[in-house]
Amino acid sequence: MNNKSIVLYFQLHQPYRVKRYTIFDTAHDHVYFNDEGESDKNNKAVFERVAEKSYRPMTELLEKLMYEQPDFRFSLSITGVFLEQAAQWAPDIIESVQRMVASGRVELLSETYHHSLAFFHSKSEFETQVALHREAIFKTFGVIPLVFRNTELAYNDELASWAAGRGYKTILAEGWDTALDWRSPNHVYRAAGSDTLALMLKNYRLSDDLAFRFSDQRWAEWPLTAGKYIDWLHSSDDSGSIINLFMDFETFGEHQWESTGIFQFFADFVKEWSVSHGAFSTISQAVEAHEPVDTVSMPQTITWADAERDLSAWNGNELQKEALRHVYDLEHEIIQTEDADLIADWRKLLTSDHFYYMATKWHEDGNIHAYFSPYDSPYDAFLSYMNVIRDIRWRVMQHRKGL
Amino acid sequence: MNILMLGWELPPHNSGGLGVACYHLSKSLAIQGAKIDFIVPYTAEHPDIDFMKIHAVTAMTPDERNGLGVYDSSKAVTSRELPDIPGGSKNIRDLQRNYVSYIENFIIHNDVDVVHAHDWLTMEAGVRAKELTGVPLIVHVHATEFDRSGEFSGNPIVHEIEQTALLMADRIFAVSSITKSIIVHRYGIPADKVEVVYNGFDPASFDDTYNYDALTYRYLESLKEEGYTVVATITRFTVQKGLSHLMHAAAKVLDQYDKVVFLFAGDGEQRDELVHLAAHLGISDKVLFTGFVRGKKWRDAYSVADVFVMSSVSEPFGLTALEAAHHDNALVISKQSGVGEVLNSIFRFDYWDTDLLADQIIGLATSPAMLRAMKRNVQDEYANLSWNDIAEQCMTHYSLTSNKVAA
């Protein structure tokens, strides 16, 4: 049994959900994200609830574990729209992350500010959002990330070329079987088309054991203990040197509630892993410590979502395609207005979550979509979104008229 | 003339056009001297009605009655012998049984010259009144089960109730020739027993203090400033309204001429399907869904529109077309809609003929002169549809029928 390094990466993100917005609001009400009702379209209420259930207890636990275990390290990616909302409604969470980052044991990643899939729709908008994010991360935490992760881990060789060109050292992707074939995700790889860019692949089986299956009582392995999980980690591909566990931060406390024992599990797991001579690494540390064993190519886009692992959760149906077409069609007109509020509102509408709420595939994955959607149906999500797009367009027209 | 009118709803407690038609017809009959006892199944105030006596069958509220689903007969009846539900008349068959009992009692204690029953909901009560006393029975058909069920076969029990009453009736009023044709051909009733009695239109009932508020549909108004034409339909989103045909026609229109925007005002079980169809056709941006509209938003929808389309697969009459004309719309009406029979300055199309419908809409959108002319000319036509004339027609047939039955 060799000594593997655990590479933990947690994603922190909250979208600005669009309130119920009808054609009677279009051309009247230019505030789209200010639902104040009981539903989960109320961004402030959602943020405060998730802060209480997940962000606070988990950041507290992480800080405590860092204090108790000098070798404990991990990575975080935090969207700009998360930072904005946290600054407004739960600034203590940012302070906690600032302390952890200052310790040098928490690495922050680069991504789009607005958690968008702009890479696949507009390269210029994508570049702008990445730059905005770097700026926000530097301003808030004083660091410049060297690792890139695209929204929803949406990845292909073209993205890797872009990242290499921009000087990134490492990029993340889903360790999906079609790309890996017989290979294991438990190694550092080289991204196809680049001599310099390291590719770190999510071990989705072991990650999803926590993120999705942990509390599932129908799962044969339920209940999962730290000891059992560590056995799996040790026995996962003996030749491997790392295990990439990538998941949403909200796994802890929101997707898996406190009552499932997820916090206790995580605390036990970190302590026992250290005791069993395992190590923890940030992404860059792992890449530094291990040479790439092979080159992996993904000509087709692969994401970390759904059984298909493609972009169909965001652009698979006609509602989504329409909404995407119309919002991205506005890009040049919007930018030309140089109206900061208008541009900011438009960018918030590019967040991938809006399109996820319009998903209509109700098979196996439908449950997850429904669980994460604050709308009555994909059609309601679509109608509100389209009415907002019309309002944005109306504002552009007013701008042109000099009003 | 003492008329026992068997109804299901009256304004302001109506959920559809049936109540509106019953209100205006009764009012005009009363003006011509008829004494009317009007039966409704629920208990409520009718503040605007002092021209007739309203009788309540049960203590149920109008909302509870609506909850039974008057229009969706598929949900209403599955068995003739539905068990009684403890605690009240919670299903439509129980309510209809109560209605029949009430009429059995009423008819023997009151002097009635004619019984006038509206639609399947009250037909059994009408038939029972005739059985008990021999009083002449008029059955007024605003819609048949074939109309309500669209492309489905409809509820067999409702069909049977209609069949029995149409056979038993001394005279049948149908709201259009289309409806008469259904009664004759699908229920096998002799044509000379069926009289077409169109609905009227009372513009006065609209001219309250309404002023169009251009801010309600401000986005649409801003498009109109840019030269767009607004095409509206205001209806329930059910299969019988033919809205998917309208959506296909909209795509054909936009393919040729893009300065047209479509307003789908209303709600119903077909909404999601229509939203999806618009996306599928790539025209979501030009198709606006309002959700259910009432009051000001409802009238402003007519006002913002230039063209009103009624694409119904089967529409016995279609009062909304006249409402649209009253709000200065040009009308494009399917040949399967009865209201088209009383209007001349309109475009007609078979509901499935999306090429023709698209052609007509493009014609109106690209020819301001024709649009103006059609808006103006149809006004003179609906203004002639007087409820007084229609009441007169009814009175004549009451007399004829009474004399025939007496003889």
Tokens representing residue A261 in the block: 């024992």
Q: Supply the DSSP symbol for B342.
A: G
Does B83 score more than 60 pLDDT? no
For range B126-149, the mean pLDDT: 94
Domain that holds residue A215: 5-296
* Whole-Å CA distances, A193 to A235, A292, A295: 32, 14, 9
Specify the pairing of strand A74-78 against strand A106-108: parallel
Tokens representing residue A313 in the block: 């959760």
Handedness of CA A343, A344, A347, A349 (dihedral sign): negative
Instruction: Using alpha carbons, select from B203, B200, B206 the residue that is nearest to residue B175.
Output: B200
Asked, as a colleague might, if the bond just before A91 is cis with ω within 30 of 0, I would say: no
Residue B62's pLDDT band, with cuts at 50, 70 and 90, is confident
- Residue A24 falls inside a structural domain: yes
Q: What is the mean pLDDT of chain B?
A: 90
For range B317-334, the mean pLDDT: 95
Q: Among A27, A319, A326, whose Cβ lies nearest the Cβ of B219?
A: A27
Compute the nearest-CA separation of A23 from chain B (Å).
6
CATH code linked to domain B205-383: 3.40.50.2000
Does B65 score more than 90 pLDDT? no
* Whole-Å CA distances, B327 to A162, B291, B320: 58, 20, 11
DSSP for A252-267?
BTTTB-GGGTHHHHHH
For residues A262 and A323, state if they share a domain: no
- Residue A302 falls inside a structural domain: no
Counted domains in chain A:
2
CB-based contacts of B63, cutoff 8 Å, min separation 6: none
Element (H, E) at A207: helix A204-211
C-beta atoms of B279 and A389 within 8 A:
no
Instruction: Using alpha carbons, select from A109, A114, A119 the residue that is nearest to residue A160.
Output: A119
**Chain A residue set in contact with B, beta carbons under 8 Å:** 22-24, 26-28, 317-319, 321-323, 326, 360, 377, 379, 382-383, 386-387, 389-391, 394, 397
Tokens representing residue B399 in the block: 């007399």
| B289 at interface of A, judged by CB pairs closer than 8 A | yes
Does B68 score more than 80 pLDDT? no
Q: How far apart are CA B367 and CA A317, in angstroms?
A: 37
C-beta atoms of A23 and B289 within 8 A:
yes
C-beta atoms of B219 and A394 within 8 A:
yes
pLDDT in tens, chain A (403 residues): 457 899 999 999 999 999 999 999 999 999 999 999 999 999 999 999 999 999 999 999 999 999 999 999 999 999 999 999 999 999 999 999 999 999 999 999 999 999 999 999 999 999 999 999 999 999 999 999 999 999 999 999 999 999 999 999 999 999 999 999 999 999 999 999 888 999 999 999 999 999 999 999 999 999 999 999 999 998 888 789 999 999 999 999 999 999 999 999 999 999 999 888 789 999 999 999 999 999 999 999 999 988 889 999 999 999 999 999 999 999 999 999 999 999 999 999 999 999 999 998 764 455 665 557 899 889 999 999 999 999 999 999 999 888 6
Does B278 score more than 80 pLDDT? yes
For residues A326 and A221, state if they share a domain: no
For residues A143 and A176, state if they share a domain: yes
Handedness of CA B146, B150, B153, B156 (dihedral sign): negative
Q: How far apart are CA B250 and CA B262, in angstroms?
A: 7
pLDDT of residue A385: 98
| B272 at interface of A, judged by CB pairs closer than 8 A | yes
For residues A254 and A317, state if they share a domain: no
Q: How far apart are CA A258 and CA A374, in angstroms?
A: 22
pLDDT of residue B202: 85
Q: How far apart are CA A133 and CA B281, in angstroms?
A: 37
Answer whether A355's CB lies under 8 Å from A115's CB.
no
Q: Which of B281, B285, B294 to mutate to test the interface with A (most CBs of A within 10 A)?
A: B285
For range B150-155, the mean pLDDT: 75
Which three-class secondary structure state does DSSP give residue B265? Answer: strand
Nearest CA in chain A to B263: A23
Number of neighbouring beta carbons within 10 Å of residue A255: 22
For residues A105 and A201, state if they share a domain: yes
pLDDT of residue A73: 97
C-beta atoms of B288 and A23 within 8 A:
yes
| B378 at interface of A, judged by CB pairs closer than 8 A | no
pLDDT of residue A368: 61
C-beta atoms of B218 and A317 within 8 A:
no
CA A57 from centre of chain: 20
Tokens representing residue B135 in the block: 């009083």
Angle at B19 between CA B14 and CA B20, to 5 degrees: 110
- Residue A178 falls inside a structural domain: yes
Answer whether A54's CB lies under 8 Å from A254's CB.
yes
Q: Supply the DSSP symbol for A17.
A: P
Backbone region of residue A300 per phi and psi (left: phi > 0; alpha: psi in -120 to 50; beta: other values): beta
For residues A277 and A338, state if they share a domain: no
ipTM, two decimals, is: 0.85
For residues A252 and A135, state if they share a domain: yes
Tell me the per-residue pLDDT of B360-375, one tens digit each, with 9 for 90 and over. Answer: 999 999 999 999 999 9
Q: How far apart are CA B40 and CA B23, in angstroms?
A: 12
Does B13 score more than 70 pLDDT? yes
- Residue A305 falls inside a structural domain: no
Q: Which of A20, A26, A322, A376 to mutate to test the interface with B (most CBs of B within 10 A)?
A: A322
pLDDT of residue A371: 58
Nearest CA in chain A to B297: A24
C-beta atoms of A23 and B279 within 8 A:
no
Nearest CA in chain A to B271: A379
Q: How far apart are CA A296 and CA A192, in angstroms?
A: 6
Does B280 score more than 50 pLDDT? yes
Does B88 score more than 60 pLDDT? no
Q: How far apart are CA A305 and CA A356, in angstroms?
A: 10
Residue at token pair 């048949």: B144
Compute the nearest-CA separation of A272 from chain B (Å).
52
Does B333 score more than 80 pLDDT? yes
For range B309-314, the mean pLDDT: 95
Answer whether B244's CB lies under 8 Å from B275's CB.
no
- Residue A290 falls inside a structural domain: yes
Which three-class secondary structure state does DSSP give residue A147? Answer: strand
Q: How far apart are CA B315 and CA B319, in angstroms?
A: 10
Q: Supply the DSSP symbol for A225.
A: P
For residues A136 and A55, state if they share a domain: yes
Q: How far apart are CA B310 and CA B334, in angstroms?
A: 6
Answer whether B197's CB lies under 8 Å from B171's CB.
no
C-beta atoms of B284 and A28 within 8 A:
no
| B292 at interface of A, judged by CB pairs closer than 8 A | no
Q: Which of B218, B228, B300 to mutate to test the interface with A (most CBs of A within 10 A)?
A: B218
- Residue A301 falls inside a structural domain: no
For residues A22 and A154, state if they share a domain: yes
For residues A106 and A242, state if they share a domain: yes
Rounded to 5 degrees, φ, ψ at B5 are: -100, 120
Residue B77's pLDDT band, with cuts at 50, 70 and 90, is very low
CB-based contacts of A214, cutoff 8 Å, min separation 6: A224, A251, A256, A260, A262, A265
Q: Supply the DSSP symbol for A110.
A: B
Nearest CA in chain A to B301: A24
Tokens representing residue B182 in the block: 């259904």
Q: Which residues of B touch A377 (CB under 8 A)?
A: 272
Q: Which residue did the predictor score with more confidence, A378 or B207?
A: A378
Q: Which residues of A touch B280 (CB under 8 A)?
A: 318
Q: Which residues of A touch B216 (CB under 8 A)?
A: 24
Residue at token pair 């949406």: A154
Name the fold adopted by B2-200+386-406.
Answer: Rossmann fold (3.40.50)
Handedness of CA B51, B57, B59, B63 (dihedral sign): negative
Q: Which of A235, A265, A296 is where one domain is finished?
A: A296
Tell me the per-residue pLDDT of B187-204, one tens digit each, with 9 for 90 and over. Answer: 999 999 999 999 999 888
C-beta atoms of A391 and B275 within 8 A:
no
For residues A208 and A149, state if they share a domain: yes
C-beta atoms of B218 and A397 within 8 A:
no
Tokens representing residue A91 in the block: 């600034």
Element (H, E) at B222: helix B218-225
pLDDT of residue B90: 56
Q: Look at A62-66, B16-20, B184-188 and tell me which has the smallest mean pLDDT.
A: B16-20
For residues A64 and A129, state if they share a domain: yes
CA A321 from centre of chain: 22
Q: How far apart are CA B79 and CA B59, in angstroms?
A: 24
| B232 at interface of A, judged by CB pairs closer than 8 A | no
Answer whether A66's CB lies under 8 Å from A280's CB.
no
For range B242-254, the mean pLDDT: 98
Name the segment(s) of chain B with CATH classification 3.40.50.2000.
2-200+386-406, 205-383
Does B265 score more than 90 pLDDT? yes
Element (H, E) at A126: helix A123-141
Tokens representing residue A122 in the block: 């507009």
Instruction: Using alpha carbons, select from B403, B387, B398, B7 the residue that is nearest to residue B171.
Output: B398
| B216 at interface of A, judged by CB pairs closer than 8 A | yes
pLDDT of residue A250: 97
Backbone region of residue A248 per phi and psi (left: phi > 0; alpha: psi in -120 to 50; beta: other values): beta
